[in-house]
Chain A
Amino acid sequence: MIKKGIYRRQLMQSGAIVGIAASSGAVLVTPGVAKAMNLTTLDPHEGETLLVMSRQIYPHPNLGDMYYAQVVTDLDQKAAADKNIAQQIKDGVAGLDSAMGIAWIALSSGNQIAVLTSIETTPFFQTVRGTAVVSLYNNPLVWRFFGYEGASFPYGGYIHRGFNDINWLPKPPDAASPAAG
């Protein structure tokens, strides 16, 4: 569905996104993040594993661990509220660790992705992905990284704030796009 173009190369040349190449390296957890998450139901190893897993599912090299920690916090809350979810996550992490006989978090990035790919249809993976897609991308601090401005009502919308400020194409003719009234 996705057409590969020259997009990646262009972005790197323009410097818009730094660090794409780094995604092939190992993903390390910021020291202390697991502790700072204050988990109630999941243990620190499970927390760290889920944090790295969230990063591998939705990797943004320039986003700090604190944003992914929110995913783990939300998973911990779901686990606290539902024993079945807790068990699914604990079993899931154990399954990741047994996949190659080495703790999953200690695997190379390529091996981590290979293991995730092998379990991507499981309910465990879908629980983590489904939680991450909301926890990560519904965070207004994360929106800034994408250039999304969030609520506009408090600022009167964009009628006077650039709804038609595109400057690399001419203005369409009035018949197609009349001036604002």
Chain B
Amino acid sequence: MAQYEFSDDSVVVIIGSGAGGGTLANELCQKGIKVVVLEAGPRHTIRDFVNNEWAAFSMLAWTDKRTASGNWRVAKDFPTLPAWICKTVGGTTVHWAGASLRIQEHEFRARSTYGDIPGTSLQDWPITLADLEPYYAKAEDKMGVTRTNDIPGLPGNNNFTVMYWGATRIGYTGVSTGRMAINSRVRAGRSSCWQMGFCFQGCKSGAKWSTLYTEIPAAEATGRLDLRPQSMVLQIQHDDTGKVNGVLYADATGTQHLQKARVVCVAGNSIETPRLLLNSHSARYPDGLANSSGEVGRNYMRHLTGSVFAIFDQPVHMYRGTTMAGIIMDEARYDPRRGFVGGYHFETISLGVPFLAAFLSPGAWGRDYTSLLEGYSNMAGMWIVGEDMPSATNRITLNPAEKDQWGLPIPDVHYDDHENDIAMRNHAFKQGDAVYQAVESTQTIEVPPYPSTHNLGTCRMSANSRDGVCNKFGQTHDIANLFISDGSQFTTGAAENPTLTIVTLAIRQSDYIADQMGKNQI
């Protein structure tokens, strides 16, 4: 593994090691470029992972305090934990469920397709599906996505069987075990799935793709990656010409270092990425880096979510096997006759008893509630993943009242549900209810959103520099050698789980960065 000098200003510094940062690091290293990755969390191995929900949460989750505001239910239920993402090498690819769907063609043209919807900041992406298709193909091969590259689908578990028959009986046809970055066969040096049921806790068989044990060791094998775990970035600095030239961070002991850089790529997930840009304000950039548009932190999206659980009079044991074991795709289409634009998917989900008790109806107590929990063995569940509407006022800001251990303002996550979101969630709850009633559920439970796992859009890409933070390659409009390399780039949320697209954009961005460095443009 490489070790570069703090003064080495020829390196590319990547902040974050998840789907965006971890992938970008490997791609750049493969092209012969020197990379320093600064990751806030510690480095774990697969051996460290535990099949225990609270213990794994303590090990992996980003639990530094954040505040939440707005009318979304998460602000009430989880006021200091608005997002459920990771602080560890591999980022949230350690926790993710593996669903790997391409964004649909019309979703890249959200503003043109959906029209002018009051209260939204909808835009078309500055790229099309055709632009991304070759990179989607590379990402699917890299990640080993089932039902691509001749990789068979995964076998469905009990939770899927219930979903499949309920969905089929109400006329849905797009029901399968889906496209998952979980090996159904041994591939790329990784095991096939053991159906453990602990995808969210770190996959102990390594069947699920994570940058922790794919991209990062591959990058290290080039001899060009200097990975520094437990390195919390505090500020991105710039020179007199306005170009970024270094990154100030605190190591595990709290000692601060300034790592010089030729290029800086920010991939801290859609809360920390804008927070860092805002906290890096200077005399030249008083509103924060890359923020001449005022768009940094705005248009925060988190997917319309919610879950439907159902209880049956016979056993299901939903916790056995792949957590996200199957998908219903029928509602992902564009069809405003349903009373909303955008679409949504149902994907199976299960929780163990510890998390189900905490999340099934946050704050609920008493016998009615515990009676539901006692139906655990006979319970099935699925999650709603739908396109939420971007809004300029849904945003990450610096909380002026609270500072973290380094004296930097903590982020506030503000989100108000748009009426389109409310209409879509209502539709999804009714349809989910119908799915389970079709297989004779005795009771269905509509579960409000969990802390956000799909955080998107806070440094969005735009054709015009007035409308967003970065261009179609994730390069910030204002500063040529500063890049956004995570889901913050998303112009709109689409209805698909975002990881595949984040990886795809990172592969594409690596080509652009290498090209621009080769031409001495950056």
A: which residues have CB within 8 A of B?
1-8, 10-11, 14, 16-17, 20, 23, 56-60, 113, 116, 120, 129, 133-134, 136-138, 142-143, 146-153, 156-159, 161-166, 168-172, 175-181
Most interface-central of A5, A14, A143 (chain B CB within 10 A): A5
The reply to whether A158 and B443 form a contact with Cβ atoms under 8 Å apart is no
Other than the given A17-B371, A133-B358, A172-B160, 14 more pairs (CB < 8 A) read A11-B371, A20-B371, A57-B365, A57-B366, A137-B354, A137-B357, A151-B198, A157-B196, A164-B155, A172-B164, A172-B165, A177-B156, A177-B160, A178-B177
| Distance A84 CA – B52 CA, assembled complex (angstroms) | 30
Q: Which positions 430-455 of chain B face chain A at CB distance < 8 Å?
A: 433, 439, 441-448
A152 touches B161 (CB 8 A): no
Closest to A166 in B: B158
How many Å lie between the Cα of A181 and that of B368 in the bound state?
Answer: 42
Q: Are B354 and A163 in contact (CB under 8 A)?
A: no
Question: By the criterion CB–CB under 8 Å, are A159 and B195 in contact?
Answer: yes
CA distance A152 to B361 in the complex (A): 26
Asked if A143 meets B353 with Cβ closer than 8 Å, knowing A57-B366, A178-B154, A181-B185, the reply is yes
- With A and B bound together, what is the CA distance between A11 and B312 in angstroms? 10
Most buried by B among A10, A20, A152: A152
* CB neighbors of A among B192-220 (8 A): 192-198, 204-205
16 contacts between A and B (CB under 8 A): A5-B443, A11-B375, A23-B367, A58-B369, A133-B358, A143-B353, A147-B377, A148-B352, A150-B352, A153-B194, A157-B197, A158-B195, A159-B193, A162-B320, A163-B195, A164-B157
Please report which residues of chain B, range 40-71, place their CB below 8 angstroms from some CB of chain A when the two chains form the complex.
Answer: 50-54
Those 9 A-B pairs whose CB atoms lie nearest each other, nearest first: A157-B194, A177-B156, A147-B377, A151-B51, A163-B321, A157-B196, A137-B357, A163-B195, A158-B320
**Shortest Cβ distance from A174 into chain B, in angstroms?**
9
Q: Collect the chain B residues with CB atoms within 8 Å of residue A7's CB.
A: 311, 371, 375, 442-443
Q: Is the interface of A mostly helix, strand, loop or mixed?
A: loop
Contact of A149 among B164, B319, B357 (CB under 8 A): B319
Nearest opposing residue in chain A for B156, CB measure: A177
Complex CA distance for A1 and B361, rounded to whole angstroms: 8
Contact A157 B205 (CB under 8 A): yes
Contact of A172 among B156, B317, B372, B375 (CB under 8 A): B156
Query: Closest approach, in angstroms, between the C-beta of A167 and any C-beta of chain B?
Result: 8
Given contacts A147-B377, A170-B165, contact A142 B321 (CB under 8 A): no
Chain A residues, CB < 8 A from B115: none
Could you say which interface size class chain B belongs to? 35 or more
**B153 cross-chain contacts in A, Cβ below 8 A:** 176-178
- Given A156-B194, A168-B314, A177-B153; A3-B444 close (CB under 8 Å): yes
Residues A146 and B155 in contact in the complex (CB < 8 Å), given A129-B365, A153-B198, A162-B317: no
With a cutoff of 8 Å between Cβ atoms, the chain A residues found around residue B82 in the complex are none
**Are A177's CB and B370's CB within 8 A?**
no
Q: Are B443 and A3 in contact (CB under 8 A)?
A: yes
Contact A157 B164 (CB under 8 A): no
In the complex, A36 Cα to B319 Cα: how many Å?
35
Within 8 Å of chain A (Cβ to Cβ): is B254? no
B370 touching A176 by the CB < 8 A rule? no
With contact pairs A120-B365, A147-B317, A162-B320 given, residues A177 and B205 touching in the complex (Cβ less than 8 Å): no
Q: How far is the CA of A178 from the CA of B113 in the complex (A)?
A: 36
